Amino acid sequence: MKLYSEEYKKKQRIAQKLDCYYKKEAQKNGLSNLDRIKAYLPNEYIFRAMRRGFAFAHLEIEPIIECIARKKPFTVVSGLNPSSPFHLGHKGLFDMLIDLQKLGADVQIPLTNDESYVDGKAASIEESKRIATQQILPDITAFGFNPEKTKVYIVTETPSIYRFAMSISRLVTYDMVKTVFGKKSLVNVGQIFYRGVVQLAQILLSQTSEFGGPKPTLIPVGIDQHPYVLLARDVAKKLGMIPPSELVVKFQPSLLDPEQKMSGSKPNIAIYLSDAEEIIQKKINRAYTGSVSSLEDHRKFGAVPEICPIFALLQYHHPDDTFIKKIRGDYKSGRITTSELKTITADFIVEMVKSMSQKTN
């Protein structure tokens, strides 16, 4: 029997804590895990996020699966707050949107610059619009979405969203908004209007007559966003629309803390698509790891890839399942060192970012 070091045991406890967190949250919110769905789905329908377990729970995803199998129209809506440049956390989500589009989805991406403004993340509406137009839109273009099946829009420049938001505003009371979002994120009336109805309008827009009427809609979200979907489902029912389905996705971890998500607001914890090669290498070299500090112990016990943000970079972005499986096994068993993992990951991420930058330009 191996006698694990305290450092290794601590890392394992973090992995268990994270696993428990997602399971508990899913159960608490009445979400189903994806095991049943995956058991039924033909392999060609199991997209990467589902296969690798980033997408881990759902609420009524069955109608979406029916649309995929029967080649019926459905929409995936995923907003992006353009308060910082595009980073790999965004990319993980956008890769999933591309996979869903290949399975037949119409994709809608509202760039919520109004949210950036009301939350004080942009100095002015003009500034938020500039970031969306100059920094985010070119990066989205690089993903290669099918233009005929994609609608990307800057919310402040889309008056129909506000008209629709106003028309549904009487269906949502202030008490409902307070319960769902909490008082802390409802400091000014802009936040109340945005969170209360503009966000719902974005989710339900694809079901308005302008877009062909009610149809199944899928909202990929983080577990903390589940209440928004519940509110949208409630309003959809009142409007005679189809309550949107929800796919819950695990966050891509911060480079410095596996329990935090990669966020664009703190440059050290995220890799931006605009980062230069040296910066990427530096960030990866400084990142938290799933291994212990002593090389001897690493060889003896192996690492905990589940909490390693460096391994997560490969897991979220590398296209080859067999490669991921091998690296995971080698790292977990201690066959490859953290330093080797960093080199492999940095080489891959640098190349990937370079190739995306070329497409953007």
Partner 1 sequence: MFPPMKLNRLLDENKMIQSYFPSKQGVINTLKKRHINILYGETHDLLGITVDSLKYYLFVSVLCEIGVGVESTVLIADTASTINTSSGDTKIILEEGKRRLGQISEIIKKYHLPIHAKLMSELFKEPPVQELIQRVQEIVTQSPEIQCLLKKTVLQNRIRQEDKTAYKYAAEAIATALLFDLKVGPPRERFYDEAALLIAKKMKRKSYDSIYLTPTYPLGLDFVYFLLHHEIEEFGLTPYKAGSNKLQDHRIVVGKTSFEKVNELIHTSFVPKQTGLPNPVEDMMNIVQLAGRFKKDISLKEGIV
Distance CA 197, CA 161 (A): 10
Q: Return the residue of 66, 210, 259, 320 that touches partner 1, per CB under 8 A.
A: 66
Q: Return the residue of 41, 103, 176, 279 that touches partner 1, per CB under 8 A.
A: 41
* Secondary structure (DSSP) of 129-165: HHHIIIIIHHHHHTT---GGGEEEEEGGG-HHHHHHH
Structural contact between residues 168 and 201, judged by C-beta atoms closer than 8 angstroms: yes
Q: Return the residue of 5, 25, 29, 62 that touches partner 1, per CB under 8 A.
A: 62
Which C-beta is closer to partner 1: that of 68 or that of 219? 68
Residue with tokens 């990307």: 152
Q: Tell me the window of 13-21, 49-57, 66-74, 345-353 that interacts with partner 1 (CB under 8 A).
A: 66-74
Q: Tell me the window of 58-66, 150-158, 209-217, 250-258 that interacts with partner 1 (CB under 8 A).
A: 58-66
Q: From the CB of 60, what's the least distance to partner 1, in Å? A: 10
Q: From the CB of 36, what's the least distance to partner 1, in Å? A: 8
Q: From the CB of 240, what's the least distance to partner 1, in Å? A: 21
Count, residues near partner 1 per rule CB under 8 A: 13
Q: From the CB of 66, what's the least distance to partner 1, in Å? A: 5
Is there binding between residue 57 and partner 1 (CB under 8 A)? Answer: no
Q: In what side-by-side order are the strands of the sheet with 106-111?
A: 32-33, 55-59, 245-249, 217-221, 75-77, 106-111, 150-154
Do the strands 32-33 and 55-59 form a parallel or antiparallel pair, or are they unpaired?
A: antiparallel
Distance CA 308, CA 332 (A): 10
Which C-beta is closer to partner 1: that of 24 or that of 36? 36
* Secondary structure (DSSP) of 269-318: G--BTT--HHHHHHHHHHS--SS-S-HHHHHHH---GGG-HHHHHHHHH-
Q: Return the residue of 57, 65, 172, 236 that touches partner 1, per CB under 8 A.
A: 65
Which C-beta is closer to partner 1: that of 66 or that of 321? 66
SS3 assignment, position 249: strand
State phi, psi for 150 to the nearest 5 degrees: -135, 135
Which C-beta is closer to partner 1: that of 50 or that of 287? 50
Which C-beta is closer to partner 1: that of 2 or that of 70? 70
Site string for partner 1, 70-89 (x = CB under 8 A): x-------------------
Structural contact between residues 228 and 204, judged by C-beta atoms closer than 8 angstroms: no
Exposed, middle or buried: residue 244 (CB in 10 Å: 0-12, 13-18, 19+)?
buried
Which C-beta is closer to partner 1: that of 114 or that of 246? 246
Which C-beta is closer to partner 1: that of 43 or that of 322? 43
Structural contact between residues 360 and 331, judged by C-beta atoms closer than 8 angstroms: no
Q: Tell me the window of 49-57, 64-72, 214-222, 310-318 that interacts with partner 1 (CB under 8 A).
A: 64-72
Of 14, 20, 87, 31, the C-alpha closest to 257 is: 14
Is there binding between residue 42 and partner 1 (CB under 8 A)? Answer: yes
Query: What tokens were used for 266?
Result: 């703190």
Is there binding between residue 46 and partner 1 (CB under 8 A)? Answer: no
Q: From the CB of 335, what's the least distance to partner 1, in Å? A: 31
Compute the C-alpha angle 239/242/244, nearest 5°: 110
Q: Return the residue of 15, 69, 137, 256 that touches partner 1, per CB under 8 A.
A: 69
Residue 218, phi-psi category: left (phi > 0), alpha (psi -120 to 50), beta (remainder)? beta
Which C-beta is closer to partner 1: that of 68 or that of 186? 68
Is there binding between residue 39 and partner 1 (CB under 8 A)? Answer: yes
Is there binding between residue 321 and partner 1 (CB under 8 A)? Answer: no
From the centroid of its chain, how far is CA 126? Answer: 26
Q: From the CB of 42, what's the least distance to partner 1, in Å? A: 7
Which C-beta is closer to partner 1: that of 7 or that of 62? 62
From the centroid of its chain, how far is CA 270? Answer: 14
Footprint of partner 1 (CB under 8 A): 36-37, 39-43, 62-63, 65-66, 69-70
